[in-house]
């Protein structure tokens, strides 16, 4: 973590991108998160624990389950691509695991996708994150959907869906968001990445659509929007979670707003909230450290 801190500190005040090996790019915030000694030791209301446990308790009081899903930063999964040493256990940010343990003790169910990502990386060379982007590849997204679905199926109230979705490959190009942050002549050295995702369709061939009436709602940021509301579309996290479960899910997402997305759910109103059985709240792990806004509790109506 000391090396990560030094790399981030060496950047200019306005520089947001670090160069890795073989053309890989990394987001500065990921390195700053990696260098954090204690995610609980943050001033100005940025300790995430109280807001997360408050949300869980509000939902539990209404008979609704919360499943918090932590999305690893790219540098956690591929530290070697950033020139960082990899510990024997693979955990380059152990304080996140301590926070997960504290959340569990407080009654918050958490799916930490890092373990699944590291296991998949060890077994298969298929990339799980985009080399020039902050986000996951279609393969990484599908791994996340399958991992989340496995936990959802374990709830005692869960009933398997009956919709036989199909998943059909489509090729497309995406210019990495980190290339855009580079700007100028440096960005000219990078070309859009060619990708293959799988679009989710209903048995009649129409594209999957999220369903606000579903008892399962997914909350998240651009990790939920990529491949779903942009790029190839109809191949995002909610679509693949629906395909895994055999039933549509609801989705509330806003770019850069994983911790604050609870406000969108609150604005739906009491009746809409009470119709849910499960809230799947996806949060980028790097947003646990020095998020742009305080982690305030958000009252539900």
pLDDT reading at 111 higher than 80: yes
Local confidence band at 4 (pLDDT 50, 70, 90 cut-offs): low
What pLDDT, on a 0 to 100 scale, did the predictor assign at position 175? 94
Q: How many CA atoms lie within 13 A of 140 on its CB side?
A: 28
pTM of the model: 0.95
Virtual CA dihedral for 291, 296, 298, 299, nearest 10 degrees?
170
Residue carrying structure tokens 């942009």: 230
Q: From the DSSP assignment, how many helices (H) and strands (E) are in the chain? A: 13, 9
Average pLDDT score over the chain: 93
**Stretch 190-194: mean pLDDT, rounded?**
93
Whether the predicted pLDDT of 5 surpasses 80: no
In a domain, 236, yes or no: yes
Per-residue model confidence as pLDDT tens digits over 130-142: 999 999 999 999 9
Is-contact 103 87, C-beta < 8 A?
no
Q: What is the DSSP letter of 136?
A: B
Nearest to 182 by CA among 29, 25, 75, 20: 25
Q: What is the pLDDT of residue 12?
A: 65
Q: How confident is the model at residue 145 (pLDDT cuts 50, 70, 90)?
A: very high
| Residue in the structure block whose two tokens are 């060379």 | 125
| Residue 90 confidence class, pLDDT cut points 50, 70, 90 | low
Do 120 and 77 touch, CB atoms closer than 8 A? Answer: no
- Supply the pLDDT for residue 1: 57
Query: Residue 160 domain-assigned?
Result: yes
Cα 22 from Cα 55, distance rounded (Å): 42
Q: Does some domain include residue 268?
A: yes
Cβ proximity of 176 and 131 under 8 Å: yes
| Residue 296 maps to a domain | no
Whose CA is closest to 18, among 26, 30, 10? 26
Q: State the Cα–Cα distance between residues 217 and 65, nearest whole angstrom.
A: 11
Residue pLDDT, tens place only, 240-270: 999 999 999 999 999 989 999 999 999 999 9
d(C-alpha 124, C-alpha 116), whole Å: 12
Of 165 and 16, more confident: 165
pLDDT value, residue 93: 83
Kindly indicate the confidence band of residue 184, based on its pLDDT and cuts at 50, 70 and 90. confident
Number of domains the chain is built from: 1
Of how many residues is the chain composed?
Answer: 301
Is residue 128 situated within a structural domain? Answer: yes
Query: Is there a domain that residue 113 lies in?
Result: yes
45/61: higher pLDDT: 61
Q: Are 167 and 198 a contacting pair, CB within 8 Å?
A: yes
The Cα–Cα gap between 64 and 46 comes to: 26
In a domain, 65, yes or no: yes
Residue 25 lies in a domain: yes
pLDDT band at 222 (very low <50, low <70, confident <90, very high): very high
Domain encompassing residue 230: 2-288
- 175-184, 204-213, 224-233: segment of lowest average pLDDT: 175-184
- More confident site: 189 or 283: 283
**Which of 76, 103, 95 lies closest to 38, judged by CA?**
95
């Amino acid at each position: 973590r000391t090396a990560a801190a030094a790399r981030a500190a060496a950047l200019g005040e306005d520089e947001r991108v670090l160069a890795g090996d073989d053309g890989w790019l990394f987001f500065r915030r990921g390195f700053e998160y990696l260098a954090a000694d204690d995610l609980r030791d943050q001033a100005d209301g940025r300790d995430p624990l109280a807001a997360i446990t408050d949300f869980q308790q509000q939902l539990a009081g209404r008979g609704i389950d919360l499943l918090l899903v932590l999305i690893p930063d790219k540098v956690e999964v591929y530290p070697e691509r950033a020139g960082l040493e990899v510990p024997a256990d693979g955990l380059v940010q152990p304080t996140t695991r301590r926070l997960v343990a504290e959340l569990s003790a407080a009654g918050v169910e958490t799916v930490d996708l890092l373990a699944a990502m590291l296991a998949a990386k060890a077994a298969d060379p298929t990339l799980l994150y985009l080399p020039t982007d902050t986000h996951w590849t279609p393969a990484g997204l599908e791994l996340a959907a399958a991992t989340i679905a496995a936990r959802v199926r374990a709830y005692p109230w869960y009933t398997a869906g009956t919709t036989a979705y199909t998943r059909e490959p489509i090729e497309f190009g995406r210019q990495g968001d980190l290339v855009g942050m580079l700007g100028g002549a440096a960005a000219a050295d990078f070309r859009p990445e060619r990708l293959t995702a799988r679009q989710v369709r209903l048995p009649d061939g129409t594209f999957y659509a999220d369903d606000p009436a579903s008892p399962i709602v997914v909350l998240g940021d651009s990790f939920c929007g990529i491949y779903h509301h942009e790029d190839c579309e109809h191949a995002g996290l909610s679509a693949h979670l629906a395909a895994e479960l055999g039933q549509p899910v609801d989705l509330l997402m806003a770019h850069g707003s994983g911790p604050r997305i609870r406000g969108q759910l609150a604005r739906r109103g009491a009746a809409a909230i009470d119709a849910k059985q499960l809230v799947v709240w996806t949060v980028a792990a790097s947003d646990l450290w020095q998020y742009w806004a305080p982690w305030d509790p958000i009252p539900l109506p």
